[in-house]
Amino acid sequence: MEQLIECVPNFSEGRDLNIIKQITNEIESVEGVKLLNVDPGKATNRTVVTFVGNPQAVIEAAFLAIKKAGELIDMSKHKGEHPRMGATDVCPLIPISNISMEETANYAQQLGKRVGEELNIPVYLYEEAQKNKNRSNLSVIRNGEYEGFFKKIKLPEWKPDFGAAEFDAKRGATVIGARDFLVAYNVNLNTTSTRRANSIAFDVREAGRVMREGNPVTGKIVTNADGTPKSIPGSLKSVKAIGWYIEEYGIAQISMNLTNINITPVHIAFDEVNKKAAERGMRVTGSELVGLIPLKAMLDAGKYFLKKQQRSVGVSESELIKIAVKSMGLDELAPFKPEERIIEYLLKNAADEKLVSMNLRAFADETASESPAPGGGSISAYVGSLGISLATMVANLSSHKKGWDERWEEFSNWAEKGQRIKDELIKLVDADTAAFNKIMTAFALPKSTDSEKAARTQAIQEATKFAIEIPFRVMQLSFESLEIIKAMAEHGNPNSVSDAGVGALCARSAVMGAFMNVRINASGYNDKNFVNDIIAKGKEIEQKTIETETEILKIVNEKIGV
């Protein structure tokens, strides 16, 4: 599996699109890197760029971008709402897949060293890349901003990690590090007051506000025994926040960095700002995402707001995202396009969803064509997805049935399970065809020499095993779906009992059809212990499926009664 890291450099230019394009051109010139998002802000005069790739490619792209930004941006003339200290203000690396935080931190250190030595830009390491934890916090490093760094950089405790201890008037300094995924998120207020917005920011951010005697604004600062100011912690953990006024929008915002969305998710931050704003006589009008967000964060938000309405969370992925967007007002300032803002969507390969992206007619035409794929395995997966979709529909109808309000959560749970099975079966439609193509590719390998023959045989065997495992997974999921289908036949909306019956027929067909594919592919696999084991398991699933389908049809037919 390829190692992937994400890089999210913030450049101190958000108005001149020509400069921004020249910087992103440098990133896109590196093979092995994919540019995911470019998010300029006029008021902040700052652009957040997101790209992903293998570590060496990302390091090269980041270096070229930092170099180009230093050539094009003059910090002595820069003005903007966001705190900043350099042309490339901050450049974090984030582990995405098959790479540890420690490895990512090492790459950040390599990048910092190269920028300091080759470009002679002062570089400070932060977060996991910084060994000195007294200077690992970005806000502490950046304190004083560009204007204050001409003196700060001369202090022994603020000597750069790399590069000269001379502040570059044109390029400033750069902070490079490694961190977990961070969500930059702004909440819009119905006020123009920066001071009032800051009050809410202090209410919610983890660092809170300085403790004062008497008047919370003008009172004497309360100190600890060592002379440091005492603070009143805010209500949200792993949240940094400030208030600012955005002239472009004509409103004040709470600008937040959610540094660990497992601790404080986006929807909790939104609701807490809502609460604190109301306490201070203000109202939240919407919110704004800066850069990208993981899919799970959006799905969790959608479920959170549906649960608050006592509605079923067992709806499609697209519906959950729509609920999240509307509930948090993510489209108040600009359209929110999931395909451009959700990281997993940007990393999708269209070839992996060729079949399921077709309309019904095109899919049927492709199946009926002279091409051997999609074949029975893909069709079995799709039939299975239709079966569990019917049961999920019954669960959602039951959850919203008038007079059944006290049971909404019970049916919501069933629907949520059904959506999970449906989504995996949908993926297996294309996966089964990919498995067939993998076998064909293996058979096409050269076989002129003994080494080529050995490599070809190994490739064929690996592809064959994959082609066994995919339909076997279809069997497992389709059998699992019968539990939900049976529950809906027994306890769901009685007006939809026939839908549960059709779902059972689909699930049985999916299991039996997939098992045929398991068996035919197993005939070409040399590991007989593996074959015997999976065939035995398949027979057991098939038999239990037939028995369960019979039970469900009995329930359905008795309820129909005609």
Burial class (CB in 10 A: 0-12, 13-18, 19+), 62: buried
Residue 438 in contact with residue 466, Cβ under 8 Å?
yes
Select which of 168, 430, 432, 499 is catalytic. 432
* Residue 542 DSSP label: H
Select which of 82, 89, 168, 203 is catalytic. 82
Nearest to 253 by CA among 305, 184, 321, 301: 184
Q: Tokens representing 216? A: 């919370």
**Phi and psi torsions of 354, nearest 5°:** -60, -45
432 is catalytic: yes
267 is catalytic: no
Burial 485-505 (b: 16+ CB within 10 A, else e): bbbbbeebbeebbebbbebbb
Give the H/E segment covering residue 114. Answer: helix 101-118
Q: Is 540 helix (H, G, I), strand (E, B) or coil?
A: helix
Burial class (CB in 10 A: 0-12, 13-18, 19+), 326: middle
* Alpha carbon distance 273, 277 (integer Å): 6
Residue 90 in contact with residue 104, Cβ under 8 Å?
no
Q: Amino acid letter at 26?
A: E
Could you check whether the bond before residue 374 is cis, i.e. omega within 30 degrees of 0? yes
Other C-beta atoms within 10 Å of 312: how many? 25
Q: Is 198 helix (H, G, I), strand (E, B) or coil?
A: helix
Residues tagged active-site? 82, 432
